[in-house]
Structure 1
Amino acid sequence: MHTVVLTFSALVWTCVYCYNNLSRRSTTIISLSSTFESYSASKANDGILNTTSIYCSHTDVNQERAWLQVDLGKPYSISSVKIYYRKDDDGISNWKQYRFRQFYLDVSNISAAQSSTTQRIRCYKDNTTAPSLPPYKIDIPCIHTVRYVIVETTYDAPEDDKNGVHGAILEICEIEVYGCNKNCINRDCDAFGFCIQGCVDGYWGRNCDSVCPVTCIELSCNRITGHCVTCISGYWGYTCTLLCSSFCYGGVCDKTNGKCTLGCTPGRNGEICDRICSSGCTNGTCDQQIGICLNGCKQNWSGDYCNICDTTHYGPTCSLECDDSCVNNTCNNTTGSCMYGCQQRFYGDQCDIDCNSCPTGCDRITGQCIGDCPVGMFGEFCTKTCSEYCKNRCNKSTGSCEGGCVFGKFGDFCNETCDDRCLSCCESRTENIKPRQDSCTENLSILIGVCVILCISVLVNGCTITWILRHNWCKQRDVTRQKSKGDSHSNDFVSQQGIYNTAEDNAGYQELGQVSGPSHYDQLRT
């Protein structure tokens, strides 16, 4: 256990003075001037330190210049560069690093493709000549703050002539660039690239690769969190990226909560001056904290905040007057509806519709008349006219004549005319019309029947009297004739004959009485 602790302590002590391999960062890009077959630049940055050819990058043959470039993405403070060159084995017949002779190591902030050697900083130049060989592993000190690390050669190895190969060639198996972020104080970082002594001003983070917000005063921020110590005027928040309200007086607000520390510009209120003083405030000014109008209200406005209309006005600007027909001239601030109802003979939400046809007023909402309609009118609004044949008024709901009809009219609405034969016997009620008409017809039939019977009776009696008179006349004529023929009868006989005739005549009258009997006229009189 003690051995493990000691080993870990030694590792930590050693790594305090180590540097980060910047080549292995995810933002680093390795590239070649040309590529031979499948031996790409990525083989020089895969972490494999084997120097056999299959693990190495390889530029193409027959090139005047060959280079490998490490692009760190941005300037870093590098301390050294370590290169692993191709070497297959230590045997005499195996591949040697003869192509590595006379290479040079440059650093720059301009890429290899766009710069010449005169524009770069030279860190190392190999001066090995044939048949000598340079070391295949080499660690080169190079303390500079740069973005690009360039290994380059123009050397044409004579050993390639026998194979018909010419030109400069590079076969780098792995390249390691050690250094710190340039923003580390004294360029001091551990093996993980963490800045040991902290960051220079304007940067934060463990690698000091994050920039403090530009709104921090003097670009000063916390090394761990990046929070600004103080903000420039007009900004607030931990990183000073939030704008103070434009209505803060002088544009100044508290760094922590954004509250306007010097108050608000005229017409505004609230802790961050985000509320507008009521337009009803005189001069548009109000208390910054609670918004109460300091100088009272404008005309037609009322309340502590002057944000409501007085009782006789309404609308968004309180410029509209409540209708005169509202009770007490009072209405709702927003809609103008009468709050306490309407004066008599007006209705509607704003009491602006008259109901003059209603003698005792109308319903505030519907406008329907309350109580009876004027004589001669009916309906919910008393706007319909009763029949002209009604006596007095008609029913308010139906319009039927309640006081009866004028002479000669009948029906619920007195719109029907009585029969000419029965003007005096019809009534206004429809249900009584048929019985009265039937009674009138029955009496007329009786009268006609009586007249017919009287006529027949007169005719029969006249005929009977005529027959009797004619019969007596004929008998008297016969007696006269017999008297003139026989003068030989005695006076007694004549006297008896006369008595007989007299009796016979009386018998005739009796016979007439029996035949005729009592007349219909006599019956009617009784």
Structure 2
Amino acid sequence: MRSHLGTEVVFLQLMISGTICFVNLVHDQGLRGIANMGAPSQKNTWIAGKAIDGNTDQNYLSDSCAITDVVGNRNTSIWWKVWLEKKFNVAYIEIYFRSDTFERSTGFSIYTYIKQNFYPLTDPKHLVYHHYPQSGCPMSVMKVTVNNITQGITYINERPIGYTSNCQHDNKQYTGIEICEIRVMGCDLGRYSNRCTKTCPSKCNGACDAFNGSCIHGCSDPNALTIDCIVCTDKQYISNNVCIDCPGHCKDDAPCNKLTGMCDNGCANQWTGAFCNICPANFYGKDCNTTCGHCRGNDVCNNITGHCPNGCQSQWQGDRCDECVNGFYNSSCTGVCGHCSNAEFCDKVNGHCLNGCTSNFQAPLCQECVGGFYNRTCTGVCGHCVNGEVCLPDTGYCANGCSNHYLYPFCQVCKDGYYGDTCNINCGRCKDGHACDKHNGHCYSGCVPNFQQPKCEVCENGFYNANCTGRCGHCKSGHACNKVNGNCLNGCSSNFQMPLCQECNIGFYGENCNKTCTNCNSSAPSCDRHHGHCFFGCKDGRKTTSCEPIEMKDNENDSTTGAVVGGVVSVLLVLVVVGVFGFIYRRRRGRGKDNHNNETSKPHTFHSKLSSKGKKYADFKDDLPNTSTGGYINHTLPEDDGGYYNTAEVNTVIRVEDLQRVISEKSAGENNMFQSEYRRLPVGNTSVCKEGKKQENIVKNRFKTTFPYHVIYLFS
């Protein structure tokens, strides 16, 4: 039990004899010890054994001291030890230093040991005392309390590097042994007190305190924890050498410390204080584990009953203010009950509505709407949110947008221009761009022209295409055409061309396509489908577009009238022909004179073929160079004089709406009509180009057969 003992050092200058109460264990009663030291003695008579010869004279001249040569040996560490005959209960030792040099013993230490092979400098054990150099010089006679069972005692002194001392005459470099006597005072093992007359108590573990007999070396009962060997049961501790109950509440119901009464592992629940016996403010109850309620003004409740002296905070009730008022819940009574069924109050702990919620609220708290409803009363029905999401429960908004063509943010009605149960149908063509009814799609303001009421989604009968601007053709039996593409699904009326039934078949013309082109040129029996004009002359050789036959009278009067009319017409034709030839002859004769005059001043003459100005249509012969490949002749003619002239124009009227059909008809078959017409175009000039013939302009014209005015349209 040495951990509870302090080291007692007593400085005693022995001046009076007869005061020793213990036995000198190295000299009295025939006892002897064996002494050694760690350096040679300065003189042969100053050996280690001189320090235990019983002579306390401190004058070195008495030859009764153990002395080494401090200066000569230059020891920085030194030891002296004595080995007793057996183990003793040593009470203290007395050290008598050499009186004239005791200051040089500053910093010494005393050790005890039991094994004889103990080597003091390398294996120091059981330090009993150490003199601190900073405390000044030691006394010339010192008493050091040991109070321990031992057989060996060692004196050690050292001068390590950096050693300092407050003793004026201390040698701070070297040390040595300068001891005149050491008295080891004590009793036999198992005894104590003055003159060793008392035996150690039986409750001690074989030895006791050398001065008072207490069990400082342990008790015979291993459960005893003090030097008095008092044994207490669990949940008791020693107080004034008496076992009493533990005063506090230890954690996990553990027993208190049997020496101090404290809880080594902490307090239970909310207990506090050194002995865990104080219930702090804001807790109450026998176990100090109940929190005070919500007292008004944050008052502290009674730590035994828990009552709040001045009432409760808002939303709390009861003597202890630990229960929510109706309509509130949770540990702070800040939760507001939801919409419980039949206006019942919710559970005051978790807020649950035990008997369910009012309509459209979500159990168990009944504070939020079930999916698909919104607003404070959950009576609003969510719209059509994108991807089937539910709307925000407070506003009804669809956070990520609407499905189909519903109007954001509520997504409950269609956007303008759409209608139907899911807003996925486009409105029809309402008049003036008005929106249709968002439920049934009706255009209450009417339709744009040719669309059918009430939805204005399809054309009226007789019209077709996306805008209903196309008028149906002559479908068979008066059926309406397809309102998307105009096709007559059941065929056309007689002589109309599929699928639109708007144009006559080839060989027919007229408003109802009931007239034939039978009088047209048989090589190209095609006529205008509206007026019946023959494109390439008549079957009887006439060069007119109107090839109606001259009707013959069936009776005699008709024959006579025809003969008369024929004769008159023949005479008129002869007169016209004679006049025309006479006119042409006079014009050619006049031009010949002019040409003759001009030939004398010009290096070139006009080609006879190119000077046929009097012709309305230039040569229509089929023996012209073949231009069926589509190429144009750009080389200079043999008798070209560099002049430019107009060629005759062939003008055939084709309506724009007939253009596609005419192109299709004329390009059909092996004998392409375009090639034939192209070859019949006039090659010569019909009038002189004056500007092009000017001397300064001739050299500017690279293409001799390209004319600078009057456009000729060629179809190829």
> What is the TM-score with the length of structure 2 in the denominator?
0.31
- When you count helix as a share of all residues, which structure comes out higher? 1
TM-score scaled to structure 1, two decimals?
Answer: 0.39
